[in-house]
Amino acid sequence: MREYAIAAIPADGIGPEVIAAGLQALEALQRRMGSFRLHVEEFPWGSDFYKRTGAMMPADGLETLKKFDAIYFGAVGAPDVPDHVTLWGLRLPICQGFDQYANVRPTKILPGVTPPLRDCGPGDLDWVIVRENSEGEYAGHGGRAHRGLPEEVATEVAIFTRVGVTRIMRYAFRLAQARPRKLLTVVTKSNAQRFGMVMWDEIAEQVSKEFPDVTWDKMLVDAMTMRMVLKPQSLDTIVATNLHADILSDLAAALAGSLGVAPTGNVDPERRFPSMFEPIHGSAFDITGKGIANPVATFWTGAQMLEHLGEPEAAARLMAAVERVTASGLLTPDLGGTATTKQVTEAVCDAIHSAN
């Protein structure tokens, strides 16, 4: 029996609702398959923990997490706690502390889901967006001079390193190579930004030599938004900077039908540390406690986690069960349906049990 230690951090808002659903599906999968075991430990960190203790997680939180094979994460953010506390107190320290430099975001239109684009259905849109997750525009460099005065100047400096760009580019080429179409689009804004973005283009050229079987092209990010809407079939694997991919992946989630189905893995490809898997959406306090949060993104990221752990068959079974349920029309309100989180979760568990 293959065994894995999983740290579950449900955190805030609908986080606990979707993580409970995800764990239920993973449990059903283990019972059905009998070939692997997940030992899950839950950590009650997040905004409530902050209100009690003054910190989003304990000071030795990263030390504790280091012992796990992967982290299954819900969402952070609360209406009465500032964003910089929730974000910088839990999620980002994990991403940065464990050097999870590849943020991997699969997107496709699930069967049964009606996407906003006319004439676009399952198969027309099947992408993986790779977001650089450790530097770039969110490196936190810059400042404000003459604050509040008419002559105020603020700078926001994007930092790109050769090491950082090369490793994400290599990851993206390798991922593209492993997918059937072997197709990669490298996104930049190198016509207007002459330093970091030009270095991205140069490094893409260099790394591409290591992957002669991958077909690749370059796109400017503005043109890319049009291409995603007008020619979604022409794209497969996409790599972009921290900011660009942040924006493109929200567009991708909307084109696929809902933020509620979009998963993400924060991956340390070198496997020095645990990687973290989570739905892209936030804590969604507007629907918290109503029992209608879409658990599909959390199921899907659970499949990503299984894939990462080396259980591709389990990952495929989980996704097949999810697709059977969406295809049957059992959808939560964000996808135009009337199903509850519980109904979707039970249907997915049933589909796991009845699959051969």
- For ligand ATP, the binding residues (CB under 6 A) are 14, 75, 77, 259-260, 281-284, 286-287, 293-294, 297, 332, 334
> Facing residues of 2 across strands?
36
Interaction partner, residue 169 (ligand ATP, Mg ion, none; CB < 5-8 Å by kind)? none
Per the listing, tokens 């075991």 go with: 37
Q: Does 16 bind Mg ion (CB under 5 A)?
A: no
Interaction partner, residue 293 (Mg ion, ligand ATP, none; CB < 5-8 Å by kind)? ligand ATP
CB 266 within 8 A of CB 133: yes
Catalytic residue among 51, 67, 222, 290: 222
Catalytic, 12? Answer no
- Which residues contact residue 25 at a Cβ distance below 8 angstroms, ignoring those fewer than 6 apart? 295, 299, 302, 318, 321, 345, 348, 349, 352
CB 335 within 8 A of CB 260: yes
Q: Does 136 bind Mg ion (CB under 5 A)?
A: no
Q: Where are the alpha helices (DSSP H) in the chain?
A: 15-33, 47-53, 61-66, 83-86, 92-97, 162-178, 196-208, 221-230, 242-255, 296-309, 312-327, 341-354
Nearest residue to Mg ion, using CB? 282
Catalytic residue among 4, 124, 138, 182: 138
Closest CA to 115 of 341, 346, 326, 322: 326
Residue 167 and residue 10: Cα distance in Å, rounded? 30
> Which segment (16-24, 28-36, 68-76, 276-284) binds Mg ion by CB under 5 A?
276-284
Q: How many CB atoms lie within 10 A of CB 335?
A: 22
Instruction: Name which of 199 and 247 has its Cβ closer to Mg ion.
Output: 247
Catalytic, 222? Answer yes
Interaction partner, residue 334 (ligand ATP, Mg ion, none; CB < 5-8 Å by kind)? ligand ATP
> Which segment (116-124, 134-142, 188-196, 279-287) binds Mg ion by CB under 5 A?
279-287
Catalytic, 250? Answer yes
Catalytic, 138? Answer yes
Per the listing, tokens 């760009």 go with: 165
Single residue of 232, 282, 302, 337 touching Mg ion by CB under 5 A:
282
> Which segment (65-73, 78-86, 198-206, 282-290) binds Mg ion by CB under 5 A?
282-290
Which residue ranges make up the site for Mg ion (CB under 5 A)? 282
- What is the set of active-site residues? 138, 189, 222, 246, 250
